[in-house]
A = this chain, B = another copy of it.
Amino acid sequence: MRRVVATGTFDIIHPGHIYYLEESRKLGDELHVIVARDRNVRHKPRPVIGEAQRLKVVRALRVVDSARLGDETDMFRPIREIGPAVITLGFDQHFREEELERALRERGIGAGVVRIGEYTGDPCTSTRRIIERILEIRGSPGGPPNLRKGGS
């Protein structure tokens, strides 16, 4: 059983996430996703959605065989527990492949690291772009009058 680990914040799910997960899944037989803890997201703005809710949405995706939250203090612990053959990085994830592989080796983890390319099939495929769009169309100075109309 060749396990693949994919990781990410998955704040507002978009087709870029789905592409990343589907491409990751192709590299093995089982896709395990580690969802970033709220307090560990420090290299970009804090997530809009809390970790428990982000995890639920990731778990609901067909491509995902198993998903869990990351460890708050040791990012390698869930990786060790899963024992993947491959760990994938998204096109914009801030780790360098070689550095991550070295860190894994130092901890006795033999997984390979593969970077998945960027998905360009849709206009709103980053949480940043989705938020920019929301601020643009709903965030008029003086308050968002549209919001009172509801929407789900």
Known contacts A92-B150, A126-B151, then 6 further A-B pairs from the complex at CB < 8 Å, ordered by chain A residue = A16-B152, A43-B149, A44-B152, A45-B146, A126-B152, A128-B150
- In this complex, how many residues of chain A approach chain B with their Cβ under 8 Å: the count is 51
Is A138 a contact of B131 with CB atoms below 8 Å? yes
Is A139 a contact of B139 with CB atoms below 8 Å? yes
6 pairs, A vs B, C-beta closer than 8 Å: A12-B130, A18-B56, A60-B62, A127-B152, A131-B134, A135-B144
Please tell me how many copies of the chain the complex holds. Answer: 2
Contact digits for A78-107, partner B, Cβ 8 Å, 1 yes 0 no = 000000000000101000000000000000
Is A15 a contact of B92 with CB atoms below 8 Å? no
- A contacts, CB < 8 Å to B: 8-9, 11-16, 18, 43-46, 48-50, 52-53, 56-57, 60-64, 90, 92, 122-128, 130-135, 137-139, 141, 144, 146-147, 149-152
Q: Which residue of B lies closest to A20 (CB)?
A: B152
Task: Write the nearest CB–CB distance from A34 to chain B, whole angstroms.
Answer: 15
- Residues from chain B with Cβ under 8 Å of A134 in the complex: 48, 131, 134-135
Is A12 a contact of B15 with CB atoms below 8 Å? no
- Distance between Cα atoms of A1 and B128 in the complex (Å): 42
Q: Which residue of B lies closest to A135 (CB)?
A: B139
Contact flag A128-B141 (CB < 8 Å), given A15-B56, A57-B18, A122-B56: no
Contact flag A57-B128 (CB < 8 Å), given A92-B150, A144-B135: no
